[in-house]
Amino acid sequence: MQKREVLLEVKNLKKYFPVKNFFGRKVGDLKAVDDVSFVIYKGETFGLVGESGCGKSTLGRTILQMLKPDAGQVIYHGKDIANLPKSQWKDLREKLQIIFQDPYSALNPNWTVRELISEPLKNAGLSREQCDTRVRELLKLVNMNEDDMEKFSYEFSGGQRQRIGIARAVASYPEFIFCDEPISALDVSVQAQVVNMLKDLQQELGLTYLFTAHDLSMVHHISDRIGVMYLGSMVELGKSEDVFRDPLHPYTRALISAIPVADPKLGRESSRIPIEGELPSPMNAPRGCRFCTRCPHATERCREERPELREVADERWAACHLL
């Protein structure tokens, strides 16, 4: 089997946010990302799923250094970019990009489409003529018209705005793009169009994605491999088909069982696995397995000892003592 090239490696990454009381005194840490490790291969789409607040967006933004990590490494092309000085980040910013969740707030309403897309090109030193040529190419690439250059973002629908955001993200010929729930604010009828466009751009431009979304079916559709996060930790990782066909971790099983089934007959026959109890606070996570307070199979060991993410089968990783 041909060996895959690792583009980006995350090692023991942590991102904590200090929590203060009314008087401004620190009372604890919110552990948004807590000791997460995984790799992303060149040219693949790595999907990241989990409940709201599990740390997906924080993890992606910490990888891009939009948030400074508290510990751990982010290794890109063999270099730890988590500890680089800002002076060395200019070239990296062109190669590591983000597509934001909300296309309405991500675009400056006072700028034209020309200005929005050409901003990263100007920072790269291109002339006005070169920027205009590139903007026309990018608009064509995302199925928009050249006449749209002089319009403002508020003149477009949500799907069109997200296309503008995608054009801006790929403007500087990046290698890696963090797609931060790019379809969650869009109509269902538009979501598939945007996802298919991202897949086409990946093939055409050789892109690598970290893709997050609440729609598990969509993540399954676009991803080569999937990581499942719970309360700031990675609990399962594997090939997309394997994870959805045979989930290993109890939390993953419950998530996948909640996917709606279009066929009423199949829907009645499928058994949903309920997740009992409340989600613990990230400030006061259980000392053992993060999921032990809601897992029907939890043992005393689960409550006392935190399981490591380990390879339990070929390219299947899970953090569970019961496997």
Q: Tell whether the model's pLDDT for residue 317 goes beyond 90.
A: yes
Which CATH number do you get for residue 34?
A: 3.40.50.300
Looking at residue 122, its pLDDT comes to 85
Q: Percentage of the chain surpassing pLDDT 70?
A: 96
What pLDDT does residue 1 have? 46
Residue 115 lies in a domain: no
Domain assignment present for residue 39? The answer is yes
> Structure tokens of 163?
């296309």
Whether 151 is covered by a domain: the verdict is: no
pLDDT value, residue 279: 82
Kindly report, residue by residue over 157-210, the tens digit of the pLDDT. 989 999 999 999 999 899 999 999 998 888 888 888 999 999 999 999 999 999
Whether pLDDT at 240 is above 90:
yes
Ordered strands of the 6-20 beta sheet: 26-41, 6-20, 71-76, 79-80
DSSP string, 165-216: HHHHHHTT--SEEEEESTTTTS-HHHHHHHHHHHHHHHHHHT-EEEEE-S-H
CA 203 to chain centre: 19
Residue 57 lies in a domain: yes
- Structure confidence by residue, pLDDT tens digits, 109-138: 999 999 999 988 887 778 889 999 999 999
Other Cβ atoms within 10 Å of 291 Cβ, number: 25
The three-state DSSP-derived secondary structure of 12-38 is EEEEEEEEECCCCCEEEEEEEEEEEEE
> Is residue 289, in this structure, part of any structural domain at all?
yes
Q: Write the DSSP assignment of 214-239 as a string of letters.
A: S-HHHHHHH-SEEEEEETTEEEEEEE
Domain that holds residue 311: 6-84+224-318
In Å, how far from its chain's centre is CA 120?
A: 22
Question: Is residue 269 one of the residues assigned to a domain?
Answer: yes
Contact 50, 231 (CB under 8 A): no
Task: Report CA torsion sign: 21, 63, 195, 160.
Answer: positive
Give a yes or no: residue 217 inside a domain.
Answer: no
Residue 283 located in a structural domain: yes
CB-based contact 227:236 (threshold 8 Å): yes
For the chain, what is the domain count? 1
